[in-house]
Structure formats: structure tokens, C-alpha cells
Amino acid sequence: MLDALAPLPLGKLIRFLESGKPLKISAKARQNILKSRHFLDQKIKNSPTPIYGINTGFGSLCNTEIENEKLADLQANLVRSHACGLGNPIPKEIVKLMLFLKIRSLSYGYSGVQLATVQRLVDFYNHDILPLVYEQGSLGASGDLAPLAHLALPLLGEGKVWYQNQIVDTETVLAEKGWQPLAFGAKEGLALINGTQFMSAYMVWLVAYSKRLLQWADLISALSLDAFDCRLEPFDALTHHIRPHKGQIETAQIIRHYLAQSPIAGQEKKAVQDPYSFRCIPQVHGASKDALAAIGRVITTEINAVTDNPNIFPDHDKILSGGNFHGQTLAIHLDFLAIALAEIANISERRLYLLISGQRGLPPFLVQNSGLHSGFMIAQYSAASVVSQNKQLCTPASIDSIVSSNGQEDHVSMGANAATKAYQVVRNVEKVLAIELLAAAQALDLRRPQQTAPVLEKLVAALRAEVPFLEQDRFLGQDMQQAIAFLQKQNPKHYKSEA
């Protein structure tokens, strides 16, 4: 049920999406939508004053008045003209999130849309009819105009959608369902294409997936610690008690638990100290966790907000034009997320580099007869290239702006670019962690018959069911792809220490 008054925590939203349950408009949301629409219709009928976006043009055409009999055409034309997306179609899971977030925003009753419009969006969501939305085209203010126009276009029976794993014309799907294209009322097109749902949908997905990758990072780094025969002193609770950042304390505790029953961790060490990429795991992973927590608070506010324009306040007899569509807060925090997650790949690649370095009793490049065999030499190159690309992608989008609409929209957030960049970064982090996992498992197997902790032995056994030990050179790129798939299909929460 959608209740326009009930706060929706991010975790609850993610669980709902994962459940696959259908959406239904609640009685309260229905009442809000109808009340707002009735107020708007009466205002158009009785007020001689032009209202932006309702009986005027858009952007720099805001002073151009439109006759009442052409208001429906105005809104349909708005959606058609703004559907100017470029690049690749965005992932279907992001589109479904966009649908959910747009439905929720409209259900508060500050947008003036028809109930039938919201219901059709709900129908699209429930039947997995996902409009084809493209990566490029949004400046992040007036919200995500081009992407949201592509999201709205199928309501008119136009454009293309994903349906039953195929890209098809919307009119074909509507005919199959026996649904008629909608006729937009005044303001509806504007309500549909104004808003931050493209940026927000990416941000929801990125926060959820980044939490998962941080769990993997802790688990894989624990395996690498034993694989490189590292000391446990840097993870002692006393060290972190005197610098009590939450993420740092949490990470040190997780590593201690993973390695508590490890014979390798408990044995006498020859090295007096370990490199930072091992010793400072709590400080680095913890910083990214703290950043992600702050980002999570921002997106939680956004998914419980109304971001189209103008907004309708029936109880105050006002229609106000403002700037809630501006994505600056999302843009800044999406840049922050990209930086925070890139550092996880950065430190992971450094551990990988040390694992293949031929130190601490391990053969160079983690293969016997190195020279004849190159082992993991070029796997590290691949990780390094991805890490370097992340550094380039972490140049902030939010510090950029470009004037549009004849100067009316003279400062924009570039939040959509921040979102798609952050998505690439997070996918790259997954690749680097997968390569570190391969190397750590290889290094551990080269130390046999020594054993690590039972939970980490379980992880290595599961990986070995997918990717065998590297006896001699083979098509290593395939192993890397299998390791990435392993991280995607396995749940890191399944590997819990019993300590």
C-alpha cells in the first residue's frame, strides 16, 4: 500500500522491491490525489492569473499564455518534445525504481495529477512494463526532464517499453492489455517530467549495492590478511576505542570475528609490521561505511519528498512555483559515494599487488614455475586499469553547471551524470574485489596444508566449486568473469563467523 503520510525508510523500500509484491494506491493517497486535482481544476476555471506550467509555456517560454482548450495538447507536447534521451538504455531495475518513486511522489497530493495517471503508472509497475529510459539527457534541474519524459511517454501510448524481456512498442503492449492511452489534463505532463526520480533511483540502487560490496570487501580482505600472513594487532579493539569512528570500530570487529579461529592468524609472525593496505583496513573501509551512512540519510529524505513543480497546496489556496526539482544535494552526495567506493577498489588492488609480489613465502605472481607461467601478473594489470578509470570517473559532476533554456535555467546540478558515473564506479569496485578474491584464494591454497578460519575456508570452497586452483597458465579472463558472477550471486551474509 502507498500511504502518502507514512515515512518510508530506505531499508524498508529495498525489502519491498526485493519482495516483488504489487503496489496498490492507499485510500489516503487516493484522497490526496483527488483533492489536489479538484483544487487545480477549479483554480484554472476561476482564476484569470496565468499559472506557470499549467496555462503557460515552459522554461524561458514561461510568459507565453496558453488558451484553456489547448492545455491537454500542451502537456502531451511537453512529454513528446522532452523525450530526448541519448546513450544506452538504463538497467531495468533502475527504471522500476523510477516508477516506484514517481508514483510515491505523486501520491502525496501536491502535484495535481489525475488518479487515472497514477493508477496507470502502478499498472506498469505491477505488470513489469518498464519504459525505455536512456542514460544521457538530464542536467539534474528542472529535475530529470529527458529521462522522466521517456518514463511518461508510454502513458500516451507512445515510445518503447521492456515487456517480457523484450523491447516492444508501447501501443502493442497496451493493445494486449486492453488499455487505452491516457489523455493528460492540465499540468500532468509537467508533474511527470519534473522531479529527481532518475537521480534518486540510481542513488537508492547504489546505496543498497554498495552496502553489499562493503560486506564483500571486509570478507575478502580478511582472507587476504591470512593469505599474506598478516598480524592481528592492528584490529585490537583498544586501538579503535581511542579513535572511535563508527565504521572503523565496526570493521575492526568484523575482521577480528572472521579471523578469531584461524590457525594462520594465530601463528608466530616474522614480519614486525604489515603494509597500510592490510594494517589500515578498518580506517579505510570504515571511512567508506561512514560516508555511505551519511548518503543513506540524504536519499531517505529524498524518497519521502515531492520534487516536481509547481506544487499545489489546497489547504492554503496556493499554487507555488519553486525549485524542489534541483538535484544539487543528490549530485554532491552521488559524487561522495563514487569517491567513497572507489577507495575500496583502490586499497583492494594494493593488497592484490602485494599478494603477487613474491613475498612472505608466496611464489611470484602466485604460480609455480613463474617465468614459464605468468600467473596473476596481468590480472593485476586489469585491476589497476579499472582502479585508474575510477579515479577519472571520480572527478565531481556536481561542481559543473551549464546554462540552458535561454538563461532561465542558469544553474544545474549535473546530478544525473553524477549518478551514471557512480554506477560505473560501483560496478568497477566489484570487478577489483573479484580479482582480489581469486588471488587471496590462490595464495591460501599455495600455503596448504595451513588452514584459515572455518568461515573463510567455506568461502574458498564455494569459490573453488566455480573456479579451480591455477596450476598453470590458462584463460584467466574467464576466471575473472566467473569470480565477478560469484560475488553477484552469492550473499556475503552467508559467510558469518561462529566466533
Q: Which residues are catalytic?
A: 52
Q: For helices 476-489 and 377-393, what crossing angle results, to 10°?
A: 60
- DSSP one-letter code for 127: T
* Beta partners for residue 130, in sequence order: 162
* Beta partners for residue 65, in sequence order: 56
Q: What is the dihedral of CA 404, 407, 409, 414, to 10 degrees?
A: 40
C-alpha cell at 303: 524518497
User: Computed from CA positions of residues 475, 479, 485, 489, in that sequence, does the dihedral angle turn out positive or negative?
Assistant: positive
What does the angle CA 397 – CA 208 – CA 497 come to, to the nearest 5 degrees?
130
Q: What phi and psi, each to the nearest 5 degrees, are found at residue 311? A: -110, 150
* Beta partners for residue 265, in sequence order: none
Sort 392 into a burial class: Cβ within 10 Å, 0-12 / 13-18 / 19+.
Answer: exposed
- DSSP one-letter code for 181: P
CA distance 43 to 238: 66
CA distance 255 to 261: 11
Q: For helices 197-227 and 281-303, what crossing angle results, to 10°?
A: 160
Q: Note whether 292 and 210 are within 8 A (CB).
A: yes
